[in-house]
Amino acid sequence: MEVFDDTITVEEIEDLCRKVEAFYAERGNPKINIVWLADLILKRLTNDLDYYINVEGTKGFGKSNLILLLSLIQCRYSGIWENTITKKKVKVYPRTKPLPKEWKHIEYGFQFKKNMSFLDDAGEMKKKFYSIDKYMPFIVDEGSKNLHKYQWATKLQFMLVQMSDTERYQNKSFYICFPNFKELNPTFRNDRVNMRLYLFNKNVTKHYAQCIISIRDVNRHVLDKWHTDDNAKKFEDLLRNVPTATRAPHHVLYAESKLQGYAGYFDVPELKIIAPRIWDIYMHYKITNAQRQKDDTPIEEEESKRMQSLKLNNYRLIQFLKLKFPDISNVKIGEIMNCSASFVSKSLNENNRNFEETMNYLKEIRL
């Protein structure tokens, strides 16, 4: 059986960096670009801090492309270097500049098996996170799928908060794909995520995407450091004369640039074009882990059955109260069950098809 080669060579990463440099040279070398962003993150990490970034955007706009390319550039000078005179070899952490000329880069530091997590459970993710070196990036590529598969809203998010506390001395960066930022719990959003990258446009013919940078508010007195509600209202006010269906990328950029936290935007080259073999390695792992997700489906079905059973039990309790106390209101039932009146109403509406069956079941109960 042929062994899959997932090693990225030094020559490949050097060629990638040259092509990224040429990509921005064609655009007049803008100050804000993906290399600038990678160096900005490294400077924070070397200042004895960590860095958490969430990537958002429409499906297919290149979120995985962005975090993978950003990580590759962040690690461009990491790995094993050899002194051409003394033949001494040293391990180098990610840095913004190469070693002096007498040193030769012989082994690249980024590894897919260590630096990327697709659909790993809590134990696997923690093991990978602990194994990577100082200043290294850690990527959770399928963040939204992990949320629904492993209850990200509880266990994994708090685990990551714990890891960021215990591993902060290693100063690692953490990149996660969550298209819906609100799915992250408030503690993780406000206390851990430092930056949001929003892919708002993709040019298919010219093979690049456009990304907006947003920074978390440093004001400790603000409850929501991303000003979500205020920004949502202001965005709509700015584009009130532009129908939703006709809003183009330049409309989005105009409105976003006026919001709190906006820090600029940049173009992102397509990794599939500038480094096809590296992209093929990534797709190999993505497809392999997608198959693993398919194999785990029975577990998800069992969780689904449990949720259905819980909903039905809630409904039966509500109907029991209705049967025993005909004049009771949804508000009062909500107080008894420690839930809202709207939840009571929704539960009744969702399960009305089971009304007769449930009522017969309740009548058999000896009170």
Question: Could you read off the pLDDT of 217-239 as tens digits, one per residue?
Answer: 999 898 899 999 999 999 999 99
Q: Are residues 329 and 310 in the same domain?
A: yes
pLDDT tens-place string over residues 107-142? 999 999 999 987 677 778 888 888 899 999 999 876
Residue 155 pLDDT: 59
Among candidates 22, 42, 57, 20, which has minimal Cα distance to 210? 57
Q: Is the pLDDT of residue 28 over 90?
A: yes
* Contacts for 338-346: CB closer than 8 Å, 24+ residues apart: 344/318
Q: Is the pLDDT of residue 151 over 70?
A: no
Residue 140 backbone class (left: φ over 0; alpha: ψ -120 to 50; beta: rest): beta
- Confidence band of 153 (pLDDT split at 50, 70, 90): very low
CA distance 185 to 177: 15
Residue 182 pLDDT: 80
Q: In the chain, which ranges are continuous DSSP H helix?
A: 10-25, 34-45, 63-74, 112-115, 122-131, 143-150, 157-166, 186-191, 228-238, 249-256, 271-274, 276-295, 297-324, 330-337, 341-350, 355-363
CA angle 19, 22, 27 (to 5 degrees): 135
Q: Is the pLDDT of residue 340 over 80?
A: no
Residue 305 pLDDT: 58
Per-residue pLDDT averaged across 349-357, rounded? 55
Q: Are residues 218 and 305 in the same domain?
A: no
Q: Are residues 142 and 278 in the same domain?
A: yes
Residue bearing the bigger pLDDT, 311 or 56: 56
Q: Are residues 179 and 212 in the same domain?
A: yes
Least confident of 91-100, 232-241, 255-264, 295-304: 295-304
CA distance 64 to 116: 11
Which CATH number covers residue 214? 3.40.50.300
Percent of the chain with pLDDT over 90: 53
Q: Are residues 25 and 43 in the same domain?
A: yes
Q: Within a domain: residue 17?
A: yes
From 295, 310, 337, give the residue that closes a domain.
Answer: 295
Q: Is the pLDDT of residue 299 over 90?
A: no
Q: Are residues 127 and 189 in the same domain?
A: yes
Q: Within a domain: residue 253?
A: no
Per-residue pLDDT averaged across 326-341, rounded? 81
Q: In 155-218, which ranges are continuous DSSP H helix?
A: 157-166, 186-191
Q: Within a domain: residue 44?
A: yes
Residue 258 pLDDT: 97
From 295, 320, 340, give the residue that closes a domain.
Answer: 295
Whole-number Cα distances in Å, 332 to 139, 325, 348: 47, 11, 15
- Confidence band of 1 (pLDDT split at 50, 70, 90): very low
Residue bearing the bigger pLDDT, 174 or 291: 174
Residues present in the chain in total: 367
Q: Are residues 207 and 338 in the same domain?
A: no
Q: Within a domain: residue 314?
A: yes
Per-residue pLDDT averaged across 286-294, rounded? 72
CA distance 343 to 191: 30
In sequence order, which residues have a C-beta less than 8 Å from that of residue 33 and are 6 or more positions away?
24, 266, 267
Q: Within a domain: residue 246?
A: no
Per-residue pLDDT averaged across 287-314, rounded? 63
Per-residue pLDDT averaged across 310-317, rounded? 74
Q: Within a domain: residue 61?
A: yes
Q: Are residues 280 and 314 in the same domain?
A: no
What's the pTM? Answer: 0.77
Q: Are residues 313 and 283 in the same domain?
A: no
Residue 197 pLDDT: 97
Quick one: 118 exposed, middle or buried, by C-beta within 10 A (0-12, 13-18, 19+)? Answer: buried
In sequence order, which residues have a C-beta less than 8 Å from that of residue 290 and are 6 or more positions away?
119
Residue 366 pLDDT: 45
Residue 343 pLDDT: 75
Q: Are residues 16 and 108 in the same domain?
A: yes
From 250, 273, 295, give the residue that closes a domain.
Answer: 295
Residue 24 pLDDT: 97
Whole-number Cα distances in Å, 138 to 27, 252, 350: 30, 30, 41
Q: Are residues 202 and 342 in the same domain?
A: no
Residue 227 backbone class (left: φ over 0; alpha: ψ -120 to 50; beta: rest): left
Q: Is there a contact between 268 and 210 (Cβ–Cβ < 8 Å)?
A: yes
Q: Within a domain: residue 254?
A: no
Q: In the chain, how many domains are there? A: 2
Structure tokens at 64: 């995985």
Q: Are residues 307 and 169 in the same domain?
A: no
Q: For residue 99, what is the DSSP state?
A: P
Residue bearing the bigger pLDDT, 120 or 171: 171
Q: For residue 51, give its domain range.
A: 10-226+261-295
Q: Is the pLDDT of residue 213 over 50?
A: yes
Average pLDDT of every residue of the chain: 84
Residue 203 pLDDT: 95
Q: Within a domain: residue 319?
A: yes
Q: Is there a contact between 249 and 210 (Cβ–Cβ < 8 Å)?
A: yes
Per-residue pLDDT averaged across 251-277, rounded? 96
Per-residue b or e along 176-212, where b marks 16 or more CB atoms closer than 10 Å to that residue's CB: bbbbebebbeeebbbebbbbbbbbbbbeeeebbbbbb
